[in-house]
């Protein structure tokens, strides 16, 4: 997801393969990298000639070489490195034009399983209850085991207003969970902020790290300073990341000049370490707490590591996702290309983010239904009881809470008042804009408030 760099010189590699002039390939690499390559290139060339001369059916050069390129990239066992042939390249362009839309989830492949990095705020996926860490096992009833990430994304995306079924496995649940989601255009406002009621504490939610996020966070900081707010909670939960530059410039707003923000390291013999440091005095000098969870990835982890390692604030919540790799994009020509991982991120203390994540200073899981209550929740969902009770324009208040609890009891549903109130509140906010923070049911937020008071 981080900023891509377009380069064209890699077309020389394809030209070398296509003409069989393998000598030209080795000249572009150091002797250490080319050692032993001649033998394997001979293998490759011999197999190519055997297929052309002996294989029972005719085939094309394009099919053979595209398969070889794709196989090379797959052999890296890296879900973030991929080959884009003409079809995949065109699908990518279609999906980014708005013709195809999705359900609002960031996914990756880990240990051959399709894992949800995070559902996007206010998206169909989040409203339906899909969580970070859920494992998608099938799309519209068809298994996706063994499929490439691009293929899975294509299955989930589609025309606006159409529906897609997702089956997920969730930790702690024996049975698979079924979701039917409507595809929508996902509009993401990257930043929201406010002052928590009855507290002189600022709340800043960063949903992703895009091209305008630094400007929006700067505006939030100016607002807090104008209100003389000297404590802020920065919420990075379910933030899948974004641009490296945005993570660096936002970190700069809170760190002393000259402090290390993050470093990137590739292979030591080919790419030097690059260190990013804060270049300005901090715009905000008050206390900071960051909220993180297993949906906080990539650029979110850069900001988290910078704040924690520079003793600038605490992290509260759950361990982050652990996506700390840098991708670089290459165009092989106008219609095909590849993205490949070229480096990993390290926090200021030298800790590797990728595959590990960042452990918070204060670990606290979100509030969940008990196993016994989950049976009641399933009854409520299957019976459509929330939709039957909640009407457009209904307020969430003591009167509606009392009526909803009585309504469930009349239906023979046994559930705690707190859980009933949570379900009602979720139903009411299907019809209106949800407040940007919730101190009633968000126990991670309430813990962050205690830590910063």
H-assigned helices in 9-85: 11-19, 22-27, 31-34, 37-54, 61-74
- Extract the tokens encoding 329: 């994009």
**Alpha carbon distance 48, 412 (integer Å):** 69
Q: Are 238 and 119 in contact (CB under 8 A)?
A: yes
Q: How far is CA 81 from the centre of its chain?
A: 16
309 catalytic per annotation: yes
Q: Are 171 and 156 in contact (CB under 8 A)?
A: no
- Measure the CA angle with vertex 144, ends 143 and 145; round to 5°: 95
Cβ(81)–Cβ(73) under 8 Å? yes
Residue among 216, 252, 309, 421 flagged as catalytic = 309
Phi, psi torsion values for 194, nearest 5 degrees: -170, 175
Residue listed under structure tokens 């940007």: 436
For 220-270, the DSSP string reads HHHHHHHTT--EEEEE-TT---B-HHHHHHHHHTTS-TT-EEEEEE--TTT
- Record the tokens describing residue 286, joined without a space: 């008050």
Calpha distance 234→392 (Å, rounded): 32
Q: Please say if 298 is a catalytic residue.
A: yes
Catalytic residue (one of 323, 419, 421, 425): 323
Give me the catalytic one of 81, 123, 190, 298.
298
Give the residue numbers marked as catalytic.
298, 309, 323
């Amino acid at each position: 997801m981080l900023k891509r760099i377009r380069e064209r010189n890699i077309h020389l590699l394809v030209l070398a393969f296509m003409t069989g002039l393998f000598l030209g390939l080795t000249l572009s690499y150091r002797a250490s990298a080319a050692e032993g390559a001649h033998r394997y290139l001979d293998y490759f060339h011999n197999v190519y000639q055997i297929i052309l001369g002996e294989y029972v059916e005719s085939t094309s050069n394009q099919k053979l070489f595209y398969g070889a390129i794709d196989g090379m990239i797959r052999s890296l066992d890296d879900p973030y490195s991929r080959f884009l042939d003409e079809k995949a390249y065109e699908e990518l362009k279609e999906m980014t034009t708005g013709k195809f839309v999705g359900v609002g989830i960031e996914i990756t492949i880990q240990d051959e399983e399709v894992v949800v990095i995070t559902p996007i705020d206010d998206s169909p996926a989040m409203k339906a209850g899909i969580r970070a860490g859920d494992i998608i096992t099938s799309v519209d009833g068809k298994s996706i085991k063994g499929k490439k990430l691009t293929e899975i994304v294509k299955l989930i995306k589609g025309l606006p207003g159409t529906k897609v079924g997702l089956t997920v496995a969730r930790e702690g649940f024996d049975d698979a969970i079924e979701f039917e989601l409507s595809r929508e255009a996902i509009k993401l406002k990257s930043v929201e902020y406010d002052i928590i009621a009855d507290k002189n504490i600022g709340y800043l939610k960063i949903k992703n790290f895009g091209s305008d996020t630094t400007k929006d966070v700067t505006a939030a900081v100016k607002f807090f300073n104008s209100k003389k707010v000297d404590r802020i909670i920065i919420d990075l939960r379910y933030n899948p990341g974004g641009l490296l530059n945005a993570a660096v410039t936002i970190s700069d707003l809170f760190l002393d000049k000259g402090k290390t923000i993050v470093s990137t390291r590739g292979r030591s013999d080919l790419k030097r370490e690059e260190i990013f440091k804060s270049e300005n005095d901090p715009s905000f000098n008050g206390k900071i707490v960051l909220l993180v969870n297993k949906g906080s990835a990539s650029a979110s982890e850069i900001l988290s590591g910078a704040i924690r390692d520079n003793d600038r604030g605490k992290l509260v919540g759950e361990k982050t996702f652990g996506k700390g790799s840098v991708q670089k994009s290459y165009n092989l020509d106008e219609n095909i290309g590849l993205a490949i991982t070229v480096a990993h991120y390290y926090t200021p203390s030298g800790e590797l983010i990728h595959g590990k994540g960042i452990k918070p200073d204060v670990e606290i899981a979100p509030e969940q239904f008990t196993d016994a209550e989950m049976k009641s929740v399933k009854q409520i969902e299957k019976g459509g009881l929330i939709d039957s009770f909640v009407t457009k324009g209904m307020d969430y208040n003591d009167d509606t809470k009392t009526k909803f609890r009585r309504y469930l009891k009349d239906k023979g549903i046994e559930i705690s008042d707190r859980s009933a109130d949570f379900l009602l509140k979720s139903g009411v906010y299907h019809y209106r804009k949800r407040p940007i923070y919730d101190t009633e049911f968000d126990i991670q937020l309430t813990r962050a408030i205690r830590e910063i008071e």
